[in-house]
Each structure stands twice: as structure tokens, then as C-alpha cells.
Amino acid sequence: MGIQIYADSACDLPLSFFKENHVSLIPLTVYVNDKAYNDLVDINPKDVFRSIREGAETKTSQPTPKYFEKLFTDLAKSGDSGIYLAFSSELSGTYQTAVMIAGQVKEAYPDLDLTILDTKCASIGYGLVVKSAVDLRENGADKEEIIRDAKFRSKHMEHIFTVADLEFLARGGRLSKAGAFLGGLLNIKPILDVEDGKLIPIEKIRGRKKLLQRMLDIMEERGVDLEHQLIGISHGDDEAAAEEMRQLIEARFGTRHFLINTIGSVIGSHAGPGTLAVFFLNKLP
């Protein structure tokens, strides 16, 4: 009996990761000018960011209950164990829907062996949790070990990021306490965090250089053994900014291992172009 790992597209890992590592992708839906696309499957992030820059209206939605019903029924019939590492329940209803449908499927298939974990994480922070689970599975870990590791990493994953325009987060209702940061002051940039799955603004900084240095300061204040961690960086279609951040982290902490990718279509629709984020653990397993 094998272990199937499921993750949704908000983990911001590339499609190739899912294919190469036998992870089941659960695509969220992205709407561009009211046309629906399965994230990563029918549309890629660069196309979404280009559409946003051209003035397109974007929104997102979770997978349908019917989608989850088929997915979990197939798992039950296969006899495998399943672990679904889900996008933060504070940012999407995907986790709640999955739990509800899994309960219904279990009534028809009592032997369904599925654990659904609310990671309370997003983007590459979520992706790092998924990657660790895959690595453990490949090294022969059992289901309980994988779940224990995923819970630990989910609890101790730091998300430190900045956005070019807070309007995207505020418009989508993804940001609480946004009012104090929506002043539109010249060259003022916010630093935000994810706390217990919610987006929280923590500081505002004037000037890009100071902004990046403050993000590094926060990493130093909160992180542990950053030299040997796998550090995540995601960007809103700005590879140069991600590379600049990588070099700054490497120079300051001696870090050698990075996981860098474009922010996916779902989170990108809410965060907007120019977003830059770093992800790391504040405690090691």
C-alpha cells in the first residue's frame, strides 16, 4: 500500500514538481475577465500577471465538491493511504470543503485512509512543507512520520513578504487591518507576515534598499541556522528581484540552498505583480 500526497496549486510549486514527484495536483480556479482556468493546468502565472498589468479583472475560487468527491473516491478504491496538505483555511475555503467531502466519502467507503492537514501556509512556505513530505516519502518514512513533520513545519514556517500595491490584497479581502497601510504615501512599502494562516501587516518602510534590509533583519531575528536551511523565495513575475534577494541572503547568512519560483496564479491574483516573499523556519525539526 502506497502513500499518495495531495497538494493544491497555491503551494506555488511548478507543474513539473507534481509530475516528477508523483504528487496529485488539486488546481484552484483562476478567473481572468470572468473566463475560468484550472491553475497550472490551463494557465500559467506569467500569463496571469501579464493580464493584470493590462488591466484584466482576476478572481479565484476553490475546487468544487464534486472534484473532491471523485478524488477521494478514487483513493478509497485504490487502497492507498492519502495525505492532503491544504492551503491555509484562513485564505481559502478549500480545506473546509475537502474535510466535508472526505467525511461523506468515508460513509460510502469506511476504509478510506486520508488525513487532511490545514498547513496554515501559503505560496512557497506551503510548498516547502509539501517538498519535505515528498522527500520523507521517498526515503521510506511512514504516514505518521510524514504527518508529524508536516505539522511541525507548518507551525514554524515564517512568511515575510512585501507587495507593490496593497490594493490587490484589500480588494480580495485577504488582508485584515489594511486601512492603516493604505495611505498611498510616496515610496512607502509594507512588510507583511502570515500569522496562524492570516495575512498581517507588520511594518511599513520607506525606500527599497531599507525594505530589503529590514526583511533580512526579520529573518535574522526569527530564523535559526539559516545557513543550512532550504530558503524559499517567491516573486510576482520579477526574477531580478528574487535573484537580488537570494544574493543578499547568501551574503548575510551563508545560505546555499534555495527554492525559488514565480508566485502562482491564485496567490498572484490577490498579491499582484511585484510581490516578493521569503520563507524559512523559526525552529528546526
- Each residue's pLDDT tens digit, 33-45: 999 999 999 999 9
Mark out the alpha helices in 185-259 (DSSP H runs): 208-222, 239-253
Grid cell 478514487 — which residue? 74
Residue ending a domain, among 97, 131, 155, is 155
Domain span holding position 88: 3-155
Backbone angles phi, psi at 77, to 5 degrees: -70, -30
Is the confidence at residue 87, as pLDDT, over 60?
A: yes
CATH number, position 136: 3.40.50.10170
**Within 10 Å of residue 283's Cβ, how many Cβ atoms?**
14
**Average per-residue pLDDT in the chain?**
91
Domain match, 149 and 219 both: no
pTM summary value: 0.93
Residue ending a domain, among 96, 122, 155, is 155
Is the confidence at residue 234, as pLDDT, over 60?
A: yes
Q: What is the pLDDT of residue 240?
A: 96
Contacts of 236 (CB under 8 A, 6+ apart): 49, 163, 164, 262, 263, 268, 271, 272, 273, 274, 275, 276
- 167: pLDDT confidence band, cut at 50, 70 and 90? low
Domain match, 118 and 206 both: no
Q: What is the pLDDT of residue 183?
A: 46
Residue ending a domain, among 114, 129, 155, is 155
